[in-house]
Structure 1
Amino acid sequence: MNQDKDAPLRDDIRLLGRLLGDTVRDQQGEAAFGLIERIRQNSVRFRRDDDIAARRELEDILDALSREQTIQVVRAFSYFSHLANIAEDQHHIRRSRAHLIAGSAPREGSLAHALERALDSGAADPAALAGFFDGALVSPVLTAHPTEVQRKSILNCETVIARLLDARDRMQLTPEEAEANDEALRRAVLTLWQTRMLRTAKLSVIDEVNNGLSYFETTFLRELPRLYASLEDRLAAADRALGTPELAAFVQVGSWIGGDRDGNPFVTAEVLERALAMQCAVALGHYLDELHILGSQLSLGIGLVSASDALLALAEASPDHSPHRSDEPYRRAISGIYARLAATYRSLLGHDPLRHAVAAAQPYPSAAALAEDLEVLHRSLAANGSGALTRGRLRHLRRAVKVFGFHLAPLDLRQNSDVHERTVAELLERACPGTAYASLDEDARCALLLEELATARPLASPHVRYTDETEGELAIFRAARQAHLRYGTAAIRNCIISKTDDVSDLLELAVLLKEAGLLRPLENALDVNIVPLFETIGDLENAAGVMARIFSIPAYRGLLEARDHTQEVMLGYSDSNKDGGFLTSGWALYKAEGELVETFARHGVRLRLFHGRGGSVGRGGGPSYQAILAQPEGAVQGQIRLTEQGEVIGAKYGNPEVGRRNLEVLVAATLESSLRPASASPTPPAFLDAMQALSDAAFAAYRGLVYETEGFERYFWESTVISEIAALNIGSRPASRKKSTAIEDLRAIPWVFSWSQCRVMLPGWYGFGSAVRDFLTANPDDGLALLQRMNMEWPFFQTLLSNMDMVLSKTDLAIASRYAELVKDAALRDTIFGRIRAEHQATVGAVLRITGQSELLDANPLLKRSIRNRFPYLDPLNHVQVELLRRHRDAAEAGGIDERIRLGIHISINGIAAGLRNSG
């Protein structure tokens, strides 16, 4: 049965593989095609049949490749990884449609399933559900960093291929249509092959903004309104008395791109202003296009349909005086709305849109004013027998305006607390020499900051010259204030403080916000959320204490009144993992959340958690649905924000239908987690004690390897592609915080990405095997049974093991051993790789014993199938990458750099990231 279901996937992979092979043969010649085919066949034999002879032959072939042959091989297998991803996404869509067509029971993660559970369990009735969304917030936040390795041109090619595959699925093609589709696919694959995979220049922040905006254009602007409509219709069907409720705009896609300054000197006030303008252009451009089409559709004549007085007034006020439309009030009204929106475009962006209005008009003062005019259209149609016409394009446009406004996406600001501290210290010192803020203890700092927050007097003077850093920080906040005046307060809602250590970090930001007028003491007004980010293990342990202390300050509690008594807290998954390893990071996060829930409840403040998750398991990644449901009780409360990072953004949102499904999963999980009944009994103490013991042992094992082993830093830099990643044009942010090779200074993103590339995946599992071994030694009688119970009964532990299961399945120590050979010190190599191999063996054994599986991923057949299909084509890229790294480093030692070899390394990095799908 499963084989039959997967047959279309295999067919698509074979089709795309054949087209790629034909393209290689046509473009590079028969010899190149034959070489690539020999590599493919040996790789399949080695991967599927564990054929040692095949591996030896494969390595001999790859090691003997010439420079040009290497580039051809790397490009071929990299593009195959991309094509396999497209086929896999299409198969997910195919299977989802098959379930819906067959009338299958709603699946986990769907809105239908979440609503059904809520209604059947009695957790809420339809009216209460509609009310729930009034105070809800579900916000995926796009971030840019060096694991987003795709060029927009490549994404465009892949979109064409996906649409062509989709057409083959949904339509019964005539022979002529099928032939045309085949030809179009062939052209698309050829275009992909002839499109440069890598950037020739380093990515700028504005390039990153542009890449991020592409997902709004292809997915969010269209799919989010459809998601809202589906949810509203489901609620209406559950209770006809509700009518069709119009839910609050509780799903908001946010962004950090252009506002995240932490460690990125290229994010300036000018960049922030440009990013906001680019976002505005996308939003208004979409509305104008939709209005243009809507005007062509609503050709209703006044003699055939009635119109409300408000609608007739809109038509009368319109600058459209064409006699051909004199009896078409809806069209004239839309022409007037279009003219006002075009004037808004010109007012906000300084130039006209591509399609001009019929005449000049007054710009809209706000997105709410535009929404009100669209509401007039809606009400008039509904009141005059044309209700069906309100449910299509007009409905989606009205929803888009309410969700995206003139700003498109709320743009977060983020900066390191050390920068805030230096800025405030300089402002205070210039205003009152001798303050010596940096030398004060915490209590004295807080007292001084609160004194400043009690007065409306600014610290900064236009007559004083400050350091470039301070000037830059002040300029950012002033630009944010101007953005509020220009686009509305929704444009920038959050200011995040990286490396929050104590209360003064929050108060320093408050002082800086006051300088720009974003905090106004006399009005008790705060225009943005002050969001502490707790990142390291120590910071997570102190998080609840910091928040308890800030809540005890009356002045700060007064500011929270302006934010609906809601405080957001961000938790960092990446740095806590690099600091303490996968298991300890997960446990520290879980405990911090529970402690925050208790602290906030005690102080009467609503908690909103912002999860700084990466794409990889080593950075908090993994399936979002299970991750949200595994949160401690009370941690969601109807509101959640989480980062979407790296190549995961493309995987989740590059295809509109897949993107809609991923947005639905976030909403469903938030609803289920928020409405689940309070647990009758807390998590058993035995579970908590066992988890603490496991965490302590895993922490010791991880720290012992990474931070306490002599030479480990050198091993890491020589056995991975970290040096080459740092030189790759895949992000605007430096790979390290300082000019050093220390693990402490390295950013968590390239740390994880490097281990993924060499197939060790160390940040996603290391230490668990040792922890379980120690635990079972200390508890020989019932230790294993207890761990098995934890896996069966505790969602948190179950999710940890499931994510580890996934990352272990993507680990390949046979391939990793070839990377280890790049380490020149044989003794160092043997010692460290030997420890990694032993820990891997222990960890796989522990996961299998606890879960009861005979093989990894027995419980996840979909992922197991994916790996079976894709990894035979991924392995050659690793083998070639090792050889290229060796040649590149030998050439560098001899004083020369071969650009073709470096190009091959960079292409291989791209292909491996695509094949692993969640590597950064």
Structure 2
Amino acid sequence: MSRLPKIERFKNEVESKYQIFNGIFMTLPFDQISNTGGLLPLFHELCVSGYEKGKNPTEIVQYFFERYMRDTEEKERETMLFKFIQYIERQVVLFDAIEDAAFSKVNNLDGRGTLRSIKEEAVELDKTEELAAYLKEFKVRPVLTAHPTQFYPGAVLGILNDLGQAIKANQIQEVKLLLSQLGKTPFFNKEKPTPFDEAISLIWYLENVFYNAMGNIYDYLKTHIENPEEFKNQIVEIGFWPGGDRDGNPFVTTEITLDVAKRLRATLFRNYYRDVRKLRRRLTFKGVEEQLAVIESMCYKAIFETEVLDFTPEDLIHKLTSIRTLVFQDHNSLFLDQIDSFIHKVELFGFHFATLDIRQDSSAHDTVFDEILAFSKVQLPSNYNDLSEKEKINVLSQVEGSVDPNEYNDEYTQRTLSSIYAIKNIQERNGEKGCNRYIISNTQMASHIMEVYAMLRLCNMTQPKIDVVPLFETVPDLVNAPSVMRSLYENENYRSHVQRRGDTQNIMLGFSDGTKDGGYLMANWAIYKAKEALTSVSREFGISIVFFDGRGGPPARGGGQTHQFYASMGTKIEAKHIQLTIQGQTISSKFGTLESCQYNLEQMISSGVSNAVYASDANDFSPSDQATMDQLADTSYKAYTDFKAHPQFLSYLEKMSTLKYYAKTNIGSRPSKRAGSAELRFKDLRAIPFVGSWSQLKQNVPGFYGVGTALETMDKAGNWEQAQSLYKNNKFFRTLLDNSMMSLTKSFFGLTAYMEHDAVYGSFWKLIYEEYERSKKYMLMISGMNSLMENELAGRASIQARENIVLPLLTIQQYALKMVQDIQAQKESKNMETYERMVTRSLYGNINASRNSA
């Protein structure tokens, strides 16, 4: 490991190499227009100098045409812009590959936050016993979602992986070949992927990355923890949403859910089969080889079997353990570590590989219950919908009967009920861990949870082995969450269900929609307070709570640096589990290679240990700091809600951003809005297109809006010392501001400065810009930094390098948007389709370049 500072290692291993390989890429003849590679750097220079001089995107593009393409037709000019888009998309892939290849050199794989570091710190602090006890019950679960925030097709992902390997090995000729292949490989999906397609894409990461990374972590712990034979905790689990997430996605069917579960099991056995083949090459001993041959045959057959297998994970472990005993007793313990490693993987993954979650919106269940009430033999009071909330809970907790999805004419009801039967089917084939959670989006009241509990029992599961998981999303719902859960815990039947589930209640808290609803500061603080209150009420009833965070990717979606966030939770928040959604570019950036995956999983484990074992009560808020945080959050919330209520808020997004183009990109199976209404309504907006549209504008509003106003208000009221005290004392608040700084760093208002003079939206643009400047000023002031992300120089350098690559792409996008607006104003259709296609195509590279946002 180099002793150079991280920023220097980044410059040497990433920035310098990118300049070299990009120079090669720009000269490759993959393009029919020979001078594209020569003209793009000139266009890039014009963009940089143009914005410095206050030029707008249209002026920059027109000047480029006049200077370098004066004697060309309009069609040729448009073609050149499309070619620029293609080049820049591939430059982003090249940068990704170089960063992946340099991961182990830029990051210290044995440094702070790794398993080795955790162990050494425990020895130093004389806390080895506490560490061992904590690791025996602590769990980490990243949940892979299909949310489309990265647009690389499978073929491009394959090239990205191969390119990283070639760069790492300095195979220049191979890099040139792969760059040529990349140049001719399409990035654009002509058809929307199905949910099954999305699942296949993510299963690639399970098969090629997580399988080995998780195995390595488990091997290390079983070797280095005290009394390893007592360590039975599968410390890392994987959750999986593609194929099970029905919320707003009409294309997820029961058949797809079952097919995804089958593919997960088949892929796992393909990995098991490979491992057994490797073992057979080493364990060629008498009495051992024959037993391994039997296991190999079992695993091979299981790859293709779609029904219930005739053996269990326990059977497989028993056979492997008998082999281990034989090798230990008769064959000098040769290759014992390899046998142990395989046993550990079977302990980790069973027959399920990943746990498939089912998710649906509460409003869908209301519709289903109306159908059940009208057409079923189930005994429900005829006045069910008129009952009080308490009466509904009581009725639902005791409901009896059985429902058949085929009894109903309504397709929605059929699909909802059949999805519950699918859970039972998956558990029979893949084991209980194959699918054991039903998540209810938009949970607002206890009856939303009890409706699902009742449906589980009505689908022939009198004692369901399934966790009913509420998802509290908006700020009001988060405030109400503790009273909702109390009313459930007080219900005898539901409390018995929780007891059967190990006295554990899973609760999901949604950052993405919370940020969209209440702004950055309030959303995060409301979730923190909800966690404290939910922990308190659960402990009161003897229930251990598992928090599942819908953290998304970038800070604007409630994400940000994961390690610091979880390391900042206090003792008043249950923290025996860390569960969070991982999506899109965050999957490839954090978990795309074996090294980065293992490193980031270890960082998650470390953050839990740091908070629970080492920090103890140091992260708890003092009463005065909590009062300051309340004040800041309330002020920020008012600023954001006032902004959201501005009469031009929705029309600005609709007319001036890329919002409506997300639906045209064919990047994901799910529709871009919840409802099919022609009119744009805030409540129908999905968080990804909402946040993504601000990101494409380089305004990143959801990641900072209201923070500057809140800090300024404290300053002007003479309370700045309280704000400074909060920043100094509290890791959670510092982490929030660090993440918000990332959103500010990725903003660039020079791109849209022309909007200040727009007759309709000029004052609205200025409102956003002033809050950006205010937030930047006060975040630097409270942190004592001279520039944004001064404490994370390598991260800032990565962001700046990516933003620099896509600057011409952003310029082309804004130029095309302005052309569309002008054509619409003139009520002409001339070239409208061309410019709209230009906007859509430019979405790809801009989003892909943001992979370092979480």
TM-score under structure 2 length normalisation: 0.93
The equivalent residue for 1:255 is 240
What pairs up with 1:52-91 in 2 under 5 angstroms?
58-61=60-63, 66-91=77-102
Equivalent pair of 2:307/2:429 in contact (CA under 8 Å): no
The equivalent residue for 2:747 is 811
What pairs up with 1:659-674 in 2 under 5 angstroms?
659-674=597-612
Amino acid at match of 2:653: F
Alpha-carbon distance in 1 for matches of 2:32, 2:201: 31
Match of 2:303 among 329, 345, 365: 345
Instruction: Name the CA shift for 1:54/1:883 in 2 (closer, same or farther; >3 Å).
Output: closer
Equivalent pair of 2:806/2:849 in contact (CA under 8 Å): yes
**Count of matched residue pairs:** 834
Alpha-carbon distance in 2 for matches of 1:63, 1:616: 36
The equivalent residue for 1:391 is 337
Equivalent pair of 2:13/2:106 in contact (CA under 8 Å): no
Equivalent pair of 2:193/2:668 in contact (CA under 8 Å): yes
Shift of 1:233: 2.8
Equivalent pair of 1:62/1:879 in contact (CA under 8 Å): no
The equivalent residue for 2:199 is 209
Instruction: Name the CA shift for 1:33/1:632 in 2 (closer, same or farther; >3 Å).
Output: same
Report the secondary structure of 2:335's partner residue: helix
The equivalent residue for 1:354 is none
The equivalent residue for 2:73 is none
Match of 1:447 among 391, 394, 401: 394
1:40 aligns with 2:49: no
1:225 aligns with 2:215: yes
What pairs up with 1:93-104 in 2 under 5 angstroms?
93-96=104-107, 99=108
The equivalent residue for 1:652 is 590
What pairs up with 1:670-689 in 2 under 5 angstroms?
670-676=608-614, 678-679=616-617, 682-689=620-627
Report the secondary structure of 1:348's partner residue: coil
Alpha-carbon distance in 2 for matches of 1:293, 1:827: 70
Amino acid at match of 2:136: D
Instruction: Name the CA shift for 1:433/1:678 in 2 (closer, same or farther; >3 Å).
Output: closer
Equivalent pair of 1:130/1:247 in contact (CA under 8 Å): no
Equivalent pair of 2:46/2:64 in contact (CA under 8 Å): no
Shift of 1:113: 2.2
The equivalent residue for 2:429 is 486
What pairs up with 1:378-777 in 2 under 5 angstroms?
378-392=324-338, 394-430=339-375, 431=377, 435-452=382-399, 455=400, 457-458=401-402, 460=403, 464-518=407-461, 520=462, 525-676=463-614, 678-679=616-617, 682-706=620-644, 708-738=645-675, 739=677, 740-777=679-716
Shift of 1:33: 2.0
Shift of 1:389: 0.2
The equivalent residue for 2:178 is 188
Report the secondary structure of 2:91's partner residue: helix
Shift of 1:54: 12
Report the secondary structure of 1:497's partner residue: strand
Equivalent pair of 1:197/1:907 in contact (CA under 8 Å): no
Alpha-carbon distance in 1 for matches of 2:715, 2:341: 57
1:280 aligns with 2:265: yes
Match of 1:853 among 785, 795, 802: 785
Report the secondary structure of 1:415's partner residue: strand
The equivalent residue for 2:843 is 909
Report the secondary structure of 1:643's partner residue: strand
Shift of 1:895: 4.2
Alpha-carbon distance in 1 for matches of 2:312, 2:186: 42
Instruction: Name the CA shift for 1:20/1:693 in 2 (closer, same or farther; >3 Å).
Output: same
Alpha-carbon distance in 1 for matches of 2:554, 2:573: 22
Amino acid at match of 2:799: I
Match of 1:138 among 140, 150, 159: 140
Match of 2:160 among 133, 158, 161: 158
1:110 aligns with 2:114: yes
Report the secondary structure of 2:440's partner residue: strand
1:875 aligns with 2:807: yes
Alpha-carbon distance in 2 for matches of 1:44, 1:230: 49
Report the secondary structure of 1:609's partner residue: strand
Match of 2:294 among 317, 336, 351: 336
* Unaligned segments of structure 2, at least 5 residues: 67-75
Instruction: Name the CA shift for 1:462/1:201 in 2 (closer, same or farther; >3 Å).
Output: closer
Report the secondary structure of 1:512's partner residue: helix
Alpha-carbon distance in 2 for matches of 1:548, 1:243: 39
Equivalent pair of 1:366/1:487 in contact (CA under 8 Å): no
Instruction: Name the CA shift for 1:447/1:899 in 2 (closer, same or farther; >3 Å).
Output: same
Amino acid at match of 2:302: T
Alpha-carbon distance in 2 for matches of 1:228, 1:567: 26
Instruction: Name the CA shift for 1:391/1:463 in 2 (closer, same or farther; >3 Å).
Output: closer
Shift of 1:900: 5.3
Amino acid at match of 1:776: D
What pairs up with 1:117-128 in 2 under 5 angstroms?
117-125=121-129
* Unaligned segments of structure 1, at least 5 residues: 101-105, 169-180, 303-328, 351-362
Shift of 1:269: 0.8
Equivalent pair of 1:411/1:491 in contact (CA under 8 Å): yes
Alpha-carbon distance in 1 for matches of 2:567, 2:41: 45
Alpha-carbon distance in 2 for matches of 1:528, 1:157: 40
Shift of 1:243: 5.9
Alpha-carbon distance in 2 for matches of 1:637, 1:433: 39
Shift of 1:39: 1.8
Amino acid at match of 1:727: K
Equivalent pair of 1:608/1:636 in contact (CA under 8 Å): yes
Equivalent pair of 2:551/2:581 in contact (CA under 8 Å): yes
Alpha-carbon distance in 2 for matches of 1:487, 1:841: 53
Instruction: Name the CA shift for 1:95/1:710 in 2 (closer, same or farther; >3 Å).
Output: closer
Alpha-carbon distance in 2 for matches of 1:653, 1:680: 31
Alpha-carbon distance in 1 for matches of 2:733, 2:384: 45
Report the secondary structure of 1:813's partner residue: coil
Alpha-carbon distance in 1 for matches of 2:467, 2:65: 55
Shift of 1:676: 3.4
Alpha-carbon distance in 1 for matches of 2:117, 2:192: 45
Q: Deviations over 1:416-461 (max 9, x none)?
A: 1111222123213333587143332212211221231xx4x32x25
Report the secondary structure of 1:117's partner residue: helix
Report the secondary structure of 1:201's partner residue: coil
Alpha-carbon distance in 2 for matches of 1:388, 1:898: 70
Shift of 1:27: 2.9
Report the secondary structure of 1:145's partner residue: coil
Alpha-carbon distance in 1 for matches of 2:572, 2:436: 24
- Name the % identity: 25
Shift of 1:722: 0.6
Alpha-carbon distance in 2 for matches of 1:189, 1:745: 41
TM-score under structure 1 length normalisation: 0.86
Shift of 1:652: 1.3
Q: Deviations over 1:7-58 (max 9, x none)?
A: 23233112220121122x55344422221121233445568xx466899984
Match of 2:817 among 885, 901, 908: 885
Shift of 1:839: 0.9
Alpha-carbon distance in 2 for matches of 1:787, 1:135: 37
The equivalent residue for 1:353 is none
Amino acid at match of 1:154: V
Shift of 1:632: 3.4
Equivalent pair of 1:42/1:57 in contact (CA under 8 Å): no
Q: Deviations over 1:781-814 (max 9, x none)?
A: xx22222221121011101110111110110011
The equivalent residue for 1:22 is 27
Instruction: Name the CA shift for 1:682/1:629 in 2 (closer, same or farther; >3 Å).
Output: closer
